[in-house]
Structure 1
């Protein structure tokens, strides 16, 4: 799989390369955050059509997420965002590397990662699609039914289909509705840690229509697909890991650098891998979870602009695979260390994982992946180290059972 990063000029124009003077391409466009079941089905459709027509399978992906750029502009008087470091995207489900890894596994030929800018977003969908036809040889565009693109999101599937039929230079292939339909989620996603042990229940389950309408009004809820990044993000914010993983079709995960913490876990007999604050992926609601810890290898100490650094390396697939020697079941804690906060004065939110292993694991300076399988219990304050240690033993046994 070939990966190209393209940056629009100040006017929003992209210098697209020419893929071929004779071979056509089947293209899809989007962010693909989370790479949920709907995304996976869409990409497989692109691959299948490309194979049938002996064409290139092409993905045009935006980074950063468009919503982040527009939010930055709204908060800074319409200014264009500069470095990605300026941007706070705490709602991003999955990093670019993992999205690329999924695309490589599906068999996509070419991925273009477009640096999303305000100038680029101001271009009409007609202009954008004309570029894809002229430069990439697009013969077929594959989209979901709710897709929209171009200035003001004017290019919905109806408008694009009209353009395709009028010009005759490409065709639009619209994916049928996938998944179990629609649901409603609050328009503003606010993390709400579960108060009880065990997988949290759907708060709207069993509601009458009147109760559901009242709940929707109270939370200013909007309708979204069940298989959507927005719904997955909401479920994770409520600690509903099992439901979120069902939407994603894989375990939700976050990546981060292991740093030295207070090393209190070591004194309790449960040494943990503490993640640096710069975490890739959406951090679920505070609580204790069962899951896995995966050693992705020693960090180089700098972020590479080479998108193939992780995603295109077959060794990464080997590390994250089930049964990998770099993979361990783990009890995962997210939140402040309430038992010791009065003693230490530290109130920072911490992600730490205890890998269930007979061997001592020295992971300092390594990038690790934390995968979430189930919610175990909320964060609580214990009277002391002994009570906490006993609870940690129970957490570990429960984790063993759930990840066996």
Structure 2
């Protein structure tokens, strides 16, 4: 997949790459944060149409996410989001590199990454569609049912299709990317509101329609698509990584570089890899999880996978409540001496995959209690990941 990054000028205009006139393009546009099953449906349709018509398949995505740019401007008197590394999008499910890798795996030919700016966001959807037709030879625009684009998000499916019908320059292909309807997520983060809306969302909860409606009105919430980045983000924020994986079509992942720590885990018999160094991906709720640590060889790109007990949270047992960290105890194979092999992962780029929530973070009275619980968590992980 060929990747091109475009940075708008001060007026929001783009210098589009020369695609040539010998082929037209089937284009999908969006954030594709998480590349969940709804996104995958759009991408698959894009690839299928491109093959059918002998066209190139093109994905246009935005980095940073438009909502982050707009929110930053709102919070900083209309200022543009900084271009350097001083601002991290902690709400993004996937970093841009991960998104592009997943999109490439779907068979897309070209990816155009547009750095979203306020000036670019001020362009109308009519202007943007004209650019797609004139600059990259748009034949079919593939979008989800709730897609919107352009200034004020004014370009919805109906208005975009009206332009297509009037100009006959391109066609609109609408994909049902919503999954099994809509679900409600709470506006406040508490166990009580989450439990109440779980009952509202569950058709087998035993509630009548009237009871479900009353509980919904009582609990502040908003509707989101069942297949959406918003709902995946909510599930992860509650530690429900297995449910999030069903929507993503794979385990949720964060990536980062293994850095040195205080090596307290080694003294306890559980040496952990501290994953830090510009972590990419949404960090699930504090707790202990079963999953995988994937070590990526920096030279060959070869991957080695280890079942891992993963901890996210603060080290309150040792009086260090201020820093939220991710540590993974990789269950290494046994060596000739019958002991687990030592894994030297310092400086390695790693991927952490979350499979199942094991327990919340708790305060232990001492190291002995902690070690006993860690042993239990490791055995749970072996069983889950075997």
Same fold (TM over 0.5): yes
The total of aligned residue pairs comes to 372
Q: 1:202 to 1:400 in 2, by over 3 A?
A: farther
* Secondary structure at the counterpart of residue 279 of structure 2: coil
Q: 1:219 to 1:122 in 2, by over 3 A?
A: farther
Q: 1:192 to 1:72 in 2, by over 3 A?
A: farther
- Give deviations 1:326-357, integer Å, cap 9, x for gaps: 1100000011112111xxx4521111000001
The aligned residue for residue 368 of structure 1 is 350
- Give deviations 1:53-99, integer Å, cap 9, x for gaps: 00000000100000000001001111222314243411100111111
Counterpart Cα distance in 2 of 1:138 and 1:56: 10
Within a 5 Å distance, the mapping from 1:201-240 to structure 2 comes to 202=198, 204=200, 205=202, 206=205, 207-213=207-213, 215-217=215-217, 219-240=219-240
Within a 5 Å distance, the mapping from 1:199-278 to structure 2 comes to 202=198, 204=200, 205=202, 206=205, 207-213=207-213, 215-217=215-217, 219-276=219-276, 278=278
Q: 1:191 to 1:117 in 2, by over 3 A?
A: farther
Within a 5 Å distance, the mapping from 1:93-108 to structure 2 comes to 93-108=93-108
Q: 1:149 to 1:376 in 2, by over 3 A?
A: same
Where structure 1 has 5 or more consecutive residues not aligned to the other structure, the ranges are 194-200, 300-314, 320-325
Counterpart Cα distance in 1 of 2:199 and 2:269: 37
Cα displacement (A) at 1:280: 0.6
The aligned residue for residue 312 of structure 2 is 334
Where structure 2 has 5 or more consecutive residues not aligned to the other structure, the ranges are 333-339
Cα displacement (A) at 1:276: 1.9
Q: 1:346 to 1:223 in 2, by over 3 A?
A: closer
- Give deviations 1:182-206, integer Å, cap 9, x for gaps: 1111246x4869xxxxxxx945442
* Secondary structure at the counterpart of residue 297 of structure 2: strand
Counterpart Cα distance in 1 of 2:210 and 2:135: 53
Cα displacement (A) at 1:209: 4.0
Within a 5 Å distance, the mapping from 1:111-150 to structure 2 comes to 111-150=111-150
Task: Note if 1:168 corresponds to 2:168.
Answer: yes
Cα displacement (A) at 1:214: 5.0
In the superposition, the TM-score normalised over structure 2's length comes to 0.92
- Give deviations 1:158-190, integer Å, cap 9, x for gaps: 0000000000000000013552221111246x4
The aligned residue for residue 285 of structure 1 is 285
Q: 1:238 to 1:211 in 2, by over 3 A?
A: farther
* Secondary structure at the counterpart of residue 348 of structure 1: strand
The aligned residue for residue 153 of structure 1 is 153
Bigger relative CO (Cα 8 Å, ≥ 6 apart) = 1
* Secondary structure at the counterpart of residue 46 of structure 2: helix
Task: Note if 1:347 corresponds to 2:322.
Answer: yes
Instruction: Indicate conservation of the 8 Å contact 2:312/2:325, yes or no.
Output: yes
Cα displacement (A) at 1:259: 1.2
Q: 1:283 to 1:17 in 2, by over 3 A?
A: same
The aligned residue for residue 337 of structure 2 is none
The aligned residue for residue 67 of structure 1 is 67
